[in-house]
Amino acid sequence: MRLILLGPPGAGKGTQAEKLSAYLGVPRVSTGDILRHNVAENTDLGKKAKSFMDSGKLVPDDLVIAMTERRLKEPDAKKGFILDGFPRTIAQAEALSKLTKIDSVVSLFLEPEELIKRNTGRRVCPKDDTVYHIFMNPPKRPGLCDKCGTSLIIRADDKEEVVRKRIETYEKQTAPLIKYYRDRGMLREVYASGLIEEIFQRTIEALKA
């Protein structure tokens, strides 16, 4: 299965991609996580990407396309993958179509105010990228990752003003991909409000349809 998850910031792409990865037995490829690790390690890519990410803008296409191509050529992605956060522009979608065939695109959608609440309450594990929410999806021990015990952090771009900018960026640059994939008969739309497990079941049903 080669799957794309589309959706605005906080729609739950990362949360659902984790569950789908376990269910389908293919890796989750999150361009946001790869970029954040590059920023944390201060690589050349991380240095170039940081200011775009911190201000809620997209990292330039050429950098993200090259990075994703490298990742999809790794052995574990041969059997399939779940793309979380890529493509985000028509140029990225075109580059991806030259690289590989995609089976399905799931578009998660949710009201803007709910997106703000989800992003501003998010906590993440900097080691294994597990995502939590202080109220709606809390860790078992406050402030610590359930899987590895690492102290959870707040993402630099989860300040409310940056979240609003990220939603605006999504509407302008990424939302046109909904029509792009609908026109190609690849789109499945899933309402992303409700319990995490309910949305997962909706997604599975949408993929079977």
Residues that bind ligand AP5 (CB under 6 A): 7, 9-15, 31-32, 35, 52-53, 56-59, 64, 85-86, 88, 92, 118-119, 121-122, 131-133, 136-137, 157, 166, 194-196, 199
List the catalytic residue out of 19, 36, 71, 155: 155
List the catalytic residue out of 88, 118, 123, 188: 88
List the catalytic residue out of 13, 28, 188, 202: 13
DSSP string, 167-203: HHHIIIIITHHHHHHHHTT-EEEEE--S-HHHHHHHH
The reply to whether 155 belongs to the active site is yes
Residue closest to ligand AP5 (Cβ) = 32
Q: Least distance from C-beta 26 to ligand AP5, angstroms?
A: 17
CB closer to ligand AP5 out of 153 and 195: 195
CB closer to ligand AP5 out of 107 and 119: 119
The reply to whether 88 belongs to the active site is yes
Give which of 14, 46, 20, 32 is closest to 169, Cα–Cα.
32
The reply to whether 166 belongs to the active site is yes
The reply to whether 122 belongs to the active site is yes
| Ramachandran quadrant class, 42 (left: phi over 0; alpha: psi -120 to 50; beta: rest) | left
SS3 147: coil
**C-alpha–C-alpha distance, residues 92 and 200, integer Å:** 26
Interhelix angle for 13-24 vs 196-208, to 10°? 60
List the catalytic residue out of 19, 118, 122, 202: 122
Phi, psi of 140 (to 5 degrees): -65, -40
**Mind telling me the catalytic residues?**
13, 88, 122, 155, 166
